[in-house]
Structures are given as structure tokens and as C-alpha cells.
Structure 1
């Protein structure tokens, strides 16, 4: 079944759709290997306004009148990479390679409803939010289908630690 067309999402409509985004996020990540809890879904929702205010925020989604089938968004990694917060946690896990991410595009989320997978929606969403800049993301190594998806698209594992992988695209 073809997916709805992918469109850019400006910050205001993206924020106005937080309930629908939470529904997609929950559908995409509440089962194995992700097993995101209801608290983690709420944390995601609470973080979206901060992400939309970040440098380089760009979002895309596929939606029809009834629902959002999937979405993706990215920001630009600060230069230099901060030593605290999320980036400090990344540095603790992955070491100095994190410093090489300064100025790169950071894929924050790519979420596709399970019933919308397999038709190229994830690929289309990802390519819509990326430009020619170097890019990176973090995913779980146990998500073997996800790891294979990124490998097919040319992403490379730069570092792994405790079930997480830092992937880059030159």
C-alpha cells in the first residue's frame, strides 16, 4: 500500500501535532527491540519543543487526513560539541569520536508506524531531512533491521558501546 506523500513540516504545525507524533513514536518504538515505556514517550514529547528551537531543525512527515504514517527530524550539532548533557553522555559511551560530530547534521528521530514499513517511507523521510552535510545518529544494535537499513543506505558504524551504535554518513 503506498504511503502518503512526504512533506516538510514547519515547527509550528509540527508542535501542533505532538499528540499524533507521540502516537507514531509509541507505535514505532514500544515493541522489541526498543521497548520504550509510556514515560519515555512522554519524555520524547516534552523534548520536541526544544528540538524545534535548535539550529538546523528540519522535519518531514507523511500524513493523510487520518494519521501520520511517519516522521523524521534533524538538527545541526553544535561546534564545539558541548561536554555536558546528551553530548556528554555520548562522549562517555563513545569517546573522542564525538568531537568529530561538530557541525554535522544530527538525525534526532526517524519513526515509521509498523504498518507503513517496507514501502520506502523511512528512506524517503530520511533523505528529505538530510542535505549533503556529514550526518550521524545513534541507534540500538539489537535493532538488526534498523542497522541493516542504515547499512544499505551507506551509513557506517563509528563506535559501539553497551547496545548502542554511533552511525555516520560521510
Structure 2
């Protein structure tokens, strides 16, 4: 049962999230302004602009945390379709896993794209609740994400949530690594320690 101070997490599908685009932009700016991300208002606006496209992706899902009417955190993701994407940081993920594992492990799986919590709500367990809410429906537990090794707090958080690092940073990349979710069937195939 939620107390008044305990944010309520709601899962939204597709375009329903667009009604909250301004709030998500604000949370993004708040959550990613500090190091190591150093995102500015322009990057937050780019994220909000991408939402219009992202909500049309197959399997798009968002978990939003509401404290009253205020959004204090969110997680978004979608199903990664084949062929594996070649924009953003995807080539670094593919280089780390190789073509076959990229196709077998990531294509058709739920990809966590963003997870953001306002600084005042961090350390409360809210990020873990959002992560679980957005990834719980992943078919056969197949979910994954990319993050940067320059973000030790994020790395530690995902490990504490049961996620497993599946790649080393790509030598020609910016320290991006792939994590597989706690119920991903390929997680036992990842050599450890990594």
C-alpha cells in the first residue's frame, strides 16, 4: 500500500505517454544534469522530441512515477526489431557481442531506453520499482539495456537489481556496455567475471 510520500507507478503504452511529455522532459533534465551525464536543456528537449517517434515503436512502454500529480521518475523502452539498429550507440553493443549474439540475445527483446528519477527521489527504491514495472512484461524475461562505464552509480544500481554486464566497452566507443536483465535466458551464457 502506498503512503502519500510513496510515489505511485503507472505503466502506459504507446501514445498515452505523450500527455506527459513536458513532465518527462523536466525529469530528464533534472536527473541527467549532473556528472557523469552533464545533459543540458537542449539534450532534454531532444529527448522529448524523440518521444513522438519512440511511442510508435513496437512494444513501446513507459512506467511513470507520480507523487500526487507530479511526475518524479520514469522508465521507457520498446522491442528491438531486427535488423539490429546502426544509429546511436548500437554499433558499440554489436561490436561487443558479435553479430550472432546480438541477433539472438537483443533482437526481439525489450530494450530499456531511459530510466530517470528526480534527485530528490533518488535513493528511495523508486528507480528499482520503475525498472521492474517497465521490464516485467518482457517476453520470456528478455530485456536489455546500454549504459556507460563512466557512470559507476548506474552500473552498481543495475547489478544490485540483478542485471548482468554482457560486454566489455567497445575499444572504438565511449565506454558503452550491454546489460542483460535478471530473467534473460542468455544471462548464463555470459562469461564471468566480466
TM-score relative to the length of structure 1? 0.88
Query: Does 1:4 pair with 2:7?
Result: yes
Measure how far apart 1:88 and its partner are.
5.1
1:98 to 97, 102, 112: 102
| Correspondence for 2:191 | none
Query: Does 1:30 pair with 2:38?
Result: no
Measure how far apart 1:128 and its partner are.
0.6
1:150 to 148, 153, 158: 158
Larger C-alpha radius of gyration, 1 or 2?
2
| Correspondence for 1:57 | 60
Query: Does 1:165 pair with 2:185?
Result: no
1:129 to 111, 124, 134: 134
Measure how far apart 1:66 and its partner are.
4.5
1:46 to 46, 49, 53: 49
Gaps of 5+ in 1: none
Question: How many aligned residue pairs are there?
Answer: 169
Gaps of 5+ in 2: 185-194
Q: Structure 1 segments of 4 or more deviating over 6 A? A: none
The alpha-carbon distance between structure 1 residues 138 and 60, as it changes in their structure 2 partners (threshold 3 A), is same
* CA distance in 2: counterparts of 1:116 and 1:88, whole angstroms: 30
* CA distance in 1: counterparts of 2:175 and 2:93, whole angstroms: 15
Measure how far apart 1:93 and its partner are.
5.1
Measure how far apart 1:3 and its partner are.
3.0
| Correspondence for 1:89 | 91
